[in-house]
Amino acid sequence: MSSIRGDNLPNARDARYVKFSWNSASDVPSIGELDYVPRTQAFRMFAEGRFTGQRLIAFPAQKRREALHALGCCAYCGRANDQHGFALPLTSEHVIAEALGCGLELPQASCFDCQRVTSEFERSVTEEMFDPVRRSLNLVGKQGVLQKKNFALDVGAETSEFVMISDIHHPTLLTLPGLYPPSACSYRPMNTNGIFNILTYNINCRRQDLDKYEITRFSTQIIDTARFCQMIAKIAHVACMGVHGRGAFKPLVADFIRTSLPPKTPSSAHFNFVGRLWQEKSEESSNLHEVEIGEISWKRATFISARVRLFASHGMPSYHVIVGE
């Protein structure tokens, strides 16, 4: 039986790390098809806020180098000067990681300390979740198209067990977590862990390639839900800072973004401001990625928010982030 696995915990949905294991390759969706796993019979729908989009930033498949107006302070800690009053060296921040084929930058927007944290979780997520996808889709990163020729495939179930497979035969599946609504704009309790399901898009997983390596079962890439939420929050936050400007709102996710979460560190707050609004329908798109700046209304409050949709052209869902107030 195929199932979600995570951290060897009794309830895998409460784990920081999750993956989906197939015991039969025949259960994998066909090439070019999107599916979700597992298929549950019950779904608890939380009352949730409503997102209103105001400005769409589209990221086409063909990478373009563009820049927003320079921010002039660190987007995360807010500093422009050090403790002695001297101007801090500030670097540009990519709205979406360049490794995912994106060239839009926010200049003068990150200090060294905060960049060290954001660079680490972006590197971790893009490598562990998306390296085979980047290669298969020929996404152009900082050093061009990824030159790796072999990728690890997890053939374990309860625990991970990896084998190396050439990029020609690697069963590449684009994998993203299906999330509940953010706790900050729904009746889902704060500091509640867990995902709803996992979405998979089959890029090139073929039964004959698995047979060639005598693989009868395998798993999706491992999803670090805490760092994944940090990356989604960072995309939304940087985009909102670039559009609204310095001091336009009180940030709500900046501290979460700049908090170092080393591997295996327990985390339960990453779904407080990041999630998926299920009433919002995802339409077909030709854009590789999308970020839409807007607002979320919940009860009597209105929040500065953003909708982040990675791999929109492959039918993947939008995530919604409560960025500020």
Please tell me whether residue 21 adopts helix, strand or coil conformation. Answer: strand
Q: Report which of 203, 150, 216, 147 is spatially closest to residue 316, judged by C-alpha positions.
A: 203
* Digit-coded pLDDT (tens) for 180-213: 999 999 999 999 888 888 999 999 998 888 888 8
Residue 89: give the domain boundaries.
Answer: 3-324
Let me know if 89 is exposed, middle or buried by CB neighbors in 10 A (0-12, 13-18, 19+): exposed
Of the pLDDT bands very low, low, confident and very high (cuts 50, 70, 90), residue 40 is low
Phi, psi of 5 (to 5 degrees): -120, 150
Residue with tokens 């407080």: 272
Q: Report which of 106, 86, 58, 75 is spatially closest to residue 248, judged by C-alpha positions.
A: 75
- The whole-angstrom distance between residue 150's C-alpha and the CA centroid of its chain comes to 23
* Digit-coded pLDDT (tens) for 48-76: 999 999 999 999 999 999 999 999 999 99
Q: How far apart are CA 152 and CA 245, in angstroms?
A: 42
* Digit-coded pLDDT (tens) for 259-291: 999 988 888 899 999 999 988 888 899 999 999
Is 2 or 81 the better-scoring residue by pLDDT? 81
**Is the pLDDT confidence value at 241 over 50?**
yes
**Is the pLDDT confidence value at 105 over 70?**
yes
8 is written with which tokens? 């060897």
Number of domains in the chain: 1
